[in-house]
Amino acid sequence: MAQLSDDCFAHGGKLMTTAEALTLLENKLRCITSTEIISVQDALGRVLSKDVISPCNVPPHDNSAVDGYAVYFDDLNKTSVTTLPISDRITAGSHVPGTLDKGTAARIFTGAPMPLGADTVLMQEDCTLVETNKVSIPVGIKLGSNRRFAGEDVEQGSVILRASRRIRPQDLGLISAIGISKISVQKSLRVAFFSTGDELRNPGTPLESGQVYDSNRYTINGLLKNLGCNVTDLGILPDKPDLIHKALESTINRFDLVLTSGGVSVGEEDHVKQVVESLGSLHAWRLAIKPGRPVALGQIGSTAFVGLPGNPVAVIVTFANFVRPLINLLSGAENVTPKTFPVVAAFAHKKKKDRREWVRVHLRESLDGQWEAHKYSKEGAGVLSSVCHSDGFAVLDEDLLSVHPGDTISYLPFNEIAL
């Protein structure tokens, strides 16, 4: 496993903006995973390590896009109905037929190879059978209609997918369409994670006074799997420095990345920071965001470390906007900037200058056809239901001080950040 430089997350001074934080990631981090050959069936969510080049045309031959009749366009009358004898019948899966006789039509089915010479296909619904071996064709068809050309989808020798692409379901289909069954990908990033807190319990166990169920590990597990990571859940650790030390020490050089939830603030029972500093190095990443603080980044040996907040919504915001690009960089994936879209605010909101906020919103279409963003009724960083019942974030940049109904704002859909 490649070593991370000792200063990979080091930064001091004033609160960092989101743009500065992402630039720091891009400048300091690089791919640390090796490659492997796997079956296309197992490649969903994985990252391509090599360009995929097509060994063939798709489709491999001209074929019909519909059930109907293949003809020479020049054989058709331009002002009246044309009647042609049927000289051939071609089904999908047939060998490419020979040349179609001039002045005749071939009965053809969807996906069947075009006979040589034929250049146009009439839909069967537009034609009328005359007797048993003739077809009546109306006027108005265009040259080349319903004919699919060889290589129309993919040309032989072309790059269909570039290295660093994270593979989606439609990519699996495209790779399979060119006859490739195995591809080269980056090995999955090995990620371990745990929660800290004396108050936390696993779902399915009874709660005593002062205790709550741990939701963050389940959220983090899902977010990691969405990014194709090989995940190890280390469970819940109490707020005891010796147990946290033992758990973190056990991850050294075994994982590419370790995530924790809670324990990195400045409270007397927040021990993760001190333990990480004793095992490696940690530099608090003081981000000017809401929700999201605190976030801590560093390393333990050659293993990258990220300490996420304890509040559930803060975990989601910091993971989606910062851990997601970090994982992409470490695993060799193209770090595509999430797309935001202009929408109309249907709420009022005030914020501090020099701080970026992610406000949970859901969209409704107004009477005049515009999409309006409605703010969730509860804003707290612990209100996890606000993310479940919203569609995305209204992203309010650092220089914005207030939002008024009718203002145009930036909207970030959850699916742009793997939520």
- Confidence bin at 284 (pLDDT 50/70/90): low
pLDDT given at position 370: 93
pLDDT given at position 268: 46
What is the average pLDDT value for the chain, to the nearest integer? 90
- Confidence bin at 1 (pLDDT 50/70/90): very low
- Confidence bin at 4 (pLDDT 50/70/90): low
Least confident of 141-150, 170-179, 208-217, 303-312: 303-312
Asked if the model's pLDDT at residue 357 lies above 50, the reply is: yes
Cα(297)–Cα(257) distance, integer angstroms: 11
Across the range 219-243, mean pLDDT stands at: 93
Asked if the model's pLDDT at residue 60 lies above 70, the reply is: yes
pTM across the whole model: 0.83
- Confidence bin at 13 (pLDDT 50/70/90): low
pLDDT given at position 2: 45
Higher pLDDT pick, 76 / 309: 76
**Neighbour-count burial of 126, counting CB atoms closer than 10 A to its CB (0-12 exposed, 13-18 middle, 19+ buried):** middle
pLDDT given at position 20: 82
- Confidence bin at 263 (pLDDT 50/70/90): low
